[in-house]
Structure 1
């Protein structure tokens, strides 16, 4: 049995444009020790999926489907039961550490809090464990800085502190939502290496959310490509990167800056995906990417595409799947229109 099994998860939000389906029937499974990457543009449903796993959806949100953690259904749990899971069996590293940390409490108290709440440690024992955690995530001179406040640390140090908080109780599942946002490239890699090392060391499952394809390629065993609240392509990371079956996946890859040698003075325009991301309340009944796809036909706008097997990969976890009714014809059509 997988550690995490998500089946037909749907999330409806109330927006100023009316009801909107932010997540439209996604499915995935995650084993212990495995890393799953979620990739896609802002607003595609990545973070709201993570919040659903944590039981932190907005008050007016409506969620349906199933989220099983070790066989226990999480959807519909009351707040008290969810509080016993958050920070204990499920940890989360949020994308902006300055808002995730409480500015009026010391970092020592904040890292110690889940230990006191979930492990029943007294203040002294929790403080000792908090010190060990801060040292483990690379906070220099941690003993002296236990009583410092979040604003006294750099962005990279604050992210290390949130990682220590998320890992304090040794969760089974760690969710890292854009953990390197606003950090410089060197610090980004340090944070990603630290997360990978700690996940492997503790045998946790990891969900890594990012819009950065490079981050996913280097850190995820499997990946989901999301657009308009749907998973449009999924499978082993290297298989998705090598095949890029769905037109949206191809567009994402083509839009990456290319560090290739150029002739002196040569300029090359960066590729873009035509059109704009539609409002969630205005998504078509069919493929959510139909309005921006160069190979779309009438049926794409009206028919919800089923998942189709790509290539010859086995049926392990569904293999490599893409939701497109024109998978066979699409490469020739896009090449002709290029």
Structure 2
């Protein structure tokens, strides 16, 4: 039995313009110790998926389909039941460490709260465990700083505190939504290594959400490529980045500067771009969400939902145009390049 399984998971938003689908039929399975990445440009549905997984979809959202944690159905749970799941069995590192912490509460209290609620620890025991967690995530002099407020920490330290909060009740699944946003490269590397070490140490499953292809390529074993609320390609990191099959995936990879480009390109030289612009959710085609922006678009792409085709092993692509699949990555100076090697 998978640890976490989503089947046809869907999120519809009720708005003044009508009902629109923000997530359209998400499917995946996670075993303990698995690492799964969600990648795609802003607005593709990555964060909405994470909120649905945590039972935190906005009040105007209707979540349908199936989401099972250790075989227990989560879709349709009442708020009281969700509160027993959040933090204890699934936890989330939210975007924007500068704003995600409560500014009027001391960080020690915020880290200790999940342990008091879910593990039944007393105030002193929870405080001691909070100090241990702060030390584990690399906060200097945690015993002295546990009573500090969020504004007294740097952005990287706040991100580490959020990781400590997410791990406080020892969840089975950790969701990291853009955990390196606004962090410099050095701190980003440290935070990602910390998450990877803790996941391996505790045997958790990890869902890592990012628009950064390099971060995804180097930190997860499997990934889902999302566009317009749909998964257009899935597979192992090696398979998808080495042999991208969907035109959208290839467009994302082509738009990433290669090492050769960064070294020799003239400043006026522009990177390749995907034709057109991302339509809002109300104007997505009824068929393939990428129809119209794709060079292989046929009339049927606008009205028929493309089938999901199995390529090799775990590699699947959702495309109805055979000649669009398995085009080559851009070649730079005779070398094929992807985020695995760039």
Instruction: Mark yes or no: TM-score above 0.5.
Output: yes
Counterpart for residue 112 of structure 1:
112
1:150-169 equivalences under 5 Å are: 150-169=150-169
Report if aligned partners of 1:295, 1:334 keep a CA contact under 8 Å in 2. no
Deviations 1:235-285 (A, max 9, x none): 111000011100000000001122216558575311111111111011111
**1:300-326 per-position Cα deviation (integer Å, ceiling 9, x unaligned):** 11110010012x32xxxxx10000011
- Pick one of 305, 320, 324 that aligns with 2:319: 324
Aligned-pair distance for 1:328?
A: 3.5
Q: What TM-score do the two structures reach when normalised by structure 1? A: 0.94
SS at match of 1:121: coil
1:34-61 Cα distance to aligned partner (Å, 9 max, x none): 1000000111011111101110011111
In the other structure, the counterpart of 2:82 is 82
Per the alignment, do residues 330 and 156 of structure 1 end up closer, same or farther by CA in structure 2, a change over 3 Å counting?
A: same
1:308 maps to: 309
Q: Which deviates the most, 233-242 or 14-23? A: 14-23
Partner of 2:96: 96
Instruction: Give 4+ residue runs of structure 1 displaced > 2 Å after superposition.
Output: 14-18, 261-268, 327-335
Q: 2:279 maps to what in 1? A: 278
Change (3 A) 1:334 1:135: closer
Alpha-carbon offset, residue 92 of structure 1: 0.4
CA–CA separation in structure 2 for the residues paired with 1:89 and 1:282: 37
Partner of 1:220: 220
Cα separation, partners in 2 of 1:334 and 1:288, compared to 1, 3 Å: farther
1:67-88: CA deviation from partner (whole Å, max 9, x where unpaired): 0000000010011111011111
Unaligned runs of 5+ in 2: 331-342
State the alpha-carbon separation in 2 of the partners of residues 34 and 56 from structure 1: 23
**Structure 1: where are the runs of 5+ without partners?**
314-318
Q: Is the 8 A contact 1:245 1:327 kept in 2?
A: no
Give distance in 2, aligned partners of 1:211 and 1:2: 26
CA–CA distance in structure 2, aligned partners of residues 203 and 303 of structure 1: 41
Superposition RMSD on alpha carbons, in Å? 1.7
Give the 3-state SS of the residue equivalent to 1:291 in structure 2.
coil
Listed as ranges, the matches of 1:68-79 within 5 Å are 68-79=68-79
Residues 190/141 of structure 1: CA separation in 2 closer, same or farther (3 Å cut):
same
